[in-house]
Amino acid sequence: MRVALLAHSARSGDAVGNQVAARAAFFRERAADVRVYVETDARLHADLLSFTQVVATDLDGEAILTDLLQSDLIVVEYSQAYRLLDVLPRVAGRGPRILFDYHGVTPPKFWHGPPEALREGQKRRGLVWFADEAAVHSEFMKRELCEATGFPTARVYVLPLLFDLTRLQTNDPSRRLRQRLALTDERLLLFVGRLAPNKRVPVLIDAVAKLKDQQPAIHAAIVGDSGDVYRAELKHCQDLANQLDVTDRVHFLGHVDENDLVDAYRSADLFVMPSLHEGCCIPILEAMAAGVPVIAARAAALPETIAGAGLTCAPDDADDLARQIRRVTEIPRDRPSGARSVSEGAPDTLAYASGSDGPTWKLAIVSPSCGENALGGAERSLRLIADVLAESGHRVDLMTNEPANPSSFDAIIVGPYCCELAAKLATIAPDRTILVPCFHDEPLARQPEIATRFTQVAGVLYHSESERRLAENDLGINHPNSAVIGTWIDSPRGDTKRGQKLIGRDRPYLLYCGRFCNEKNLPLLVDWLKQYESEHSDQFTIVFIGGGELQIPDNPNWRNLGFVSERNKADLLAGASALIQLSTNESLSLVALEAWNEGTPVIVHSNCPVMREHLEAGGGRAVANYEQFRDSLNDLLQNAHDWQEMGRRGREYVANRYHSHAEFAQRINEVLAAMNRPIADLMRERGLEATRGRDDEAWKLAFSERVESVLHREPVELKFAVVIRPRHGDSLRARPGARRTGIRLENTGAAPLLAEDCRIRARVLSVNGEPDVTRLAEMLLPGRSCPLAIRLDVPIKSGEYLIELEFERDRQGAPMETVRLPLHVEPAESNRAAGADSLLDELMRKLAEAESLAELPAGYTDVSEGALGSLKRTIKQKLLHQFQTAYVDVLSRQQSAMNRVMLEAIQELSECLAMLGQPTGDQTAGLSDATGQFGQSLRQLKARVRDATKRLDDVDERLKRLEATSARTAIE
């Protein structure tokens, strides 16, 4: 088996370099012929020296093409754009299977230097479409890749990154870094990573300054590459530390070897990562594996990487970071515990007596409502928690208002997150508050203040794994004292016959149980039921139980029973053919579990993560649209036995997971007990637990599964297809004698259309001459479309013409697509269309953007390394002007961007002029002032078009000369 590994570089000590070395070793252990190709061998990983080839020019790329075509598997490491990637379109679909490993690209907005390399990196990741599968290292990276490229999520897999656990979990007691920095009792914060702007090290420095009053004193050690392209950020950080008077507390250590890095982890009291963009962040995993507590910014993949093992802070918020650092590093106060006396209950308070002889806590359970008719799942869950804790031996007050004296309770359990009581208690008594959030994905939950408020509480009780993942990965609510408690459901108690008797109908019935509100998707259910009845009358009786602001429509086949007793609800659930619950806003869906407990299958919405989790047991169907809903109801009638089997599997699922009263109580009590422990200890324990299963063998197993999948899957068909149409209406428009016209190009295939590989030939059929040729401005991804100003010599006479457009790929031979479109050529008319002002504003913006892109680079970033690196940099800086003229790649990218934006603006303006016209003096005299201003705007823009067109022609000529010079240089 032959394997090729492609990467820009494979540096020792770098995450990508370590990954390439590990993969090379993986394949060589299996007797594979492994070849590594890189664009630079700077600091090349020692394990790769004997079988790595540097591909530094286009000619080198041509030379390795034959080798790559003979490979069985090509693994592409993608963290930036590089020359080697140009081979992917030429080998895809020709034998080798391709695994595209996406490490993420830093957004240009997070970089203070020239952004061209990052912009190119973002564009070129569309090459993933030439791969059979893609690998990423977090769900965040999966979303980023798929949203940016449209690549199918079904072909993207999350793989763990390899890091060495054994070297981190050492018993060596020495802490040389603390000795080197002369630290004794001081608290040492550690940052590990490149000193890049997106890492936001200045935020850490600012936080250290805000903690100058804390004792023991706070210090920070910054470990990582700070040379070459990172020198400017290093200086910025040093200047900030000097300005904030913390120079003696912030220590810049630069790049260190593996032994010193392990010692740095061993010496640290807390690891801090304030970065704004990370795809996974190996240093966080290393810190957790070394038993170091972790705090990170609530951004990108950092909350997902930390999960429940650490804390997060608001991005770019030094105050919030300082607050979290203080929380972890301060010496904790003693908390009260043991038996407590019960104070007088407040109004709306239900007092429970302990039935146990063990030590008790005084607890407040705060719920929006707690009566027998409390309908919401959150209220019912809080009441159940109160019952269970009282039976466990605690003194419990169940109340619907804020405790008069929160400090009189050992703990306060409150929920859901959206109620005012929860927000207030999390603010005034965070160290005593345990939150039962009942999160689901809604705009309120994603508000930044929600995460800031509820990451300060003493603990979190989740109802399901889906809720926990949402909170930790997406909402950034990370807490080491959290648990998935689920719920407790008693044995089945419903009577099927009695339930059917309560309905009073012989035919089967479907049941909805819950609040009558939009949040439960009840309007959608009503619409689907109406449509089903119009197509299949008299099949089911529809029964609704519950209440709320929405009205159930009058229908002879529908019965609204309103609120019912617990006994009647159990009977109705037992007798139903199915429970229908289309809500997508669930943290547990207690009613679905209750239905399964009675052996009743469920029909739910496939967009509900919690129900997808539950349905893995096979207790019903998930539907995404009316057609699936209709088919499920028809199948329920025709295959009743199969649906009864689904109900039986649902009952087994509930019995296995939710019937243990003792386990439910234990999970809650463990969170209560952990409140007495320092949060730093909890963070260490959870970090070690989270990384324990990420050893070398686990990584090999996961990678092996992915390799087998890529090698044995059906080859991906590289289908190329396009659609060409006018940008507006059914015909093209142009002014007499114009040199361009506008079209819209849509990629309807399953492979990218590359700018260097595609062209459009355009000609007017009634005019003799060679067709005009236009190249694509940039890569066009499958499913995407773009406006394109194509070259065309428009006739000088007004009238109706027919043009022929041929879309060609250089490797195709024959045109992929040929269309004929009408062309309307007419001088500008005087009519003004509605909305023209806003269009002109947009055109002005585009032309301004084009002008900014027309400027040449003011400088460049030098990456010279080695013993003579300093001398090389000095020489290059003195010869900057001469070197700039040779940077054809940078110039070409910038000028291409300028061309694209300017052409789009010019074409929009041309069509605007053709449709709207320019008022003459006589016409303008009778118009309002606003109309006169419109005409003046048109005249100004028309003049700018003439200037811009001339600049475009000059740019085209300059690019041709530069590219020709570049080609000659490459040959020489």
pLDDT per residue as tens digits for the range 56-70 = 887 777 889 999 999
How does pLDDT run across 710-731, given as a tens digit for each residue?
999 988 889 999 999 998 888 9
For residue 874, pLDDT over 90 is answered with: no
For residue 589, pLDDT over 80 is answered with: yes
Query: Which of 51-62 are b and which e, b meaning 16 or more Cβ less than 10 Å from the residue's Cβ?
Result: ebeebeeeeebe
The conformation of residue 598, written as its DSSP 8-state character, comes to T
Q: Cα separation of 316 and 110, whole Å?
A: 12
Residue 344 burial by CB count (10 A; 0-12/13-18/19+): exposed, middle or buried?
A: exposed
And the tokens for 576? Answer: 């139903």
The 3-state secondary structure of 782-827 reads: CCCEEEEEEECCCCCCCEEEEEEEEEEECCCCCCCEEEEEEEEECC
* Most confidently modeled range among 228-237, 523-532, 838-847, 857-866: 523-532
Phi-psi region of 820 (alpha: psi -120 to 50; beta: other; left: phi over 0): beta
Mean pLDDT, residues 183-197 taken together: 95
Average pLDDT across the chain, whole number: 85
Q: What pLDDT is attached to residue 888?
A: 47
Cα-only R_g, the chain: 33
819 pLDDT band, cuts 50/70/90, is very high
Q: What pLDDT is attached to residue 918?
A: 42
Choose the weakest-confidence range: 459-473, 747-761, 776-790, 924-938. Answer: 924-938
For 202, residues 6+ apart whose C-beta sits below 8 A from its C-beta are 236, 237, 240
And the tokens for 483? Answer: 């648990």
The conformation of residue 71, written as its DSSP 8-state character, comes to -
And the tokens for 716? Answer: 């991906």
For residue 341, pLDDT over 50 is answered with: no
Choose the weakest-confidence range: 431-435, 475-479, 753-757. Answer: 753-757
Contact call for residues 100 and 133 (beta carbons, < 8 A) = yes
Residue 350 burial by CB count (10 A; 0-12/13-18/19+): exposed, middle or buried?
A: middle
Closest alpha carbon to 47 in 73, 99, 71, 12: 12
Q: Cα separation of 914 and 733, whole Å?
A: 7
Q: What pLDDT is attached to residue 177?
A: 96
Contact call for residues 404 and 346 (beta carbons, < 8 A) = yes
Contact call for residues 754 and 89 (beta carbons, < 8 A) = yes
Q: What pLDDT is attached to residue 919?
A: 43
705 pLDDT band, cuts 50/70/90, is very high
Choose the weakest-confidence range: 268-282, 620-634, 864-878, 935-949. Answer: 864-878
Asked if the peptide bond before residue 152 counts as cis, ω within 30 degrees of 0, the response is: no
Specify the 3-state DSSP secondary structure of 290: coil
And the tokens for 762? Answer: 């355009």
Helices (H), 330-365: none
Mean pLDDT, residues 182-202 taken together: 95
Choose the weakest-confidence range: 15-24, 158-167, 552-561. Answer: 158-167
Q: What pLDDT is attached to residue 857?
A: 47
And the tokens for 540? Answer: 């089911």
For 554, residues 6+ apart whose C-beta sits below 8 A from its C-beta are none
Helix (H) or strand (E) holding 156: strand 156-158
- The secondary structure of 740-762 as a DSSP string is EEEEEEEE-SSSPBPTTTEEEEE
Pick 364 or 875 by higher pLDDT: 364
Q: What pLDDT is attached to residue 867?
A: 56
Residue 608 burial by CB count (10 A; 0-12/13-18/19+): exposed, middle or buried?
A: buried
And the tokens for 919? Answer: 């008022």
For residue 207, the tally of other CB atoms under 10 A from its CB is: 27
Percent of the chain with pLDDT over 90: 66
741 pLDDT band, cuts 50/70/90, is confident
Mean pLDDT, residues 186-212 taken together: 96
Contact call for residues 568 and 547 (beta carbons, < 8 A) = no
Specify the 3-state DSSP secondary structure of 186: coil
Q: What pLDDT is attached to residue 840?
A: 47
Mean pLDDT, residues 904-923 taken together: 52
Mean pLDDT, residues 271-298 taken together: 96
Q: Cα separation of 900 and 948, whole Å?
A: 12
- Write down the pTM of the prediction: 0.82
Mean pLDDT, residues 537-542 taken together: 91
The conformation of residue 546, written as its DSSP 8-state character, comes to E
Mean pLDDT, residues 414-439 taken together: 95
Closest alpha carbon to 60 in 88, 37, 35, 43: 37
For residue 72, pLDDT over 50 is answered with: yes
For residue 223, pLDDT over 80 is answered with: yes
How does pLDDT run across 260-269, given as a tens digit for each residue?
999 999 999 9
Distances (CA, A) of 659 to 89, 355, 460, 496, 684: 56, 21, 22, 21, 32
250-254, strands of its sheet edge to edge: 250-254, 218-223, 187-192, 270-273, 294-297, 311-313
Q: What pLDDT is attached to residue 537?
A: 84
Question: Look-up: residue for tokens 């004997």?
Answer: 50
For 63, residues 6+ apart whose C-beta sits below 8 A from its C-beta are none
For residue 862, pLDDT over 70 is answered with: no
For residue 207, pLDDT over 90 is answered with: yes
How does pLDDT run across 313-336, given as a tens digit for each residue?
999 999 999 999 999 998 665 554
Q: Cα separation of 246 and 227, whole Å?
A: 22
805 pLDDT band, cuts 50/70/90, is very high
Give the pairing of strands 482-484 and 558-562: unpaired
538 pLDDT band, cuts 50/70/90, is confident
Percent of the chain with pLDDT over 70: 81
Q: What pLDDT is attached to residue 953?
A: 62
166 pLDDT band, cuts 50/70/90, is confident
Q: Cα separation of 323 and 320, whole Å?
A: 5
Pick 340 or 519 by higher pLDDT: 519
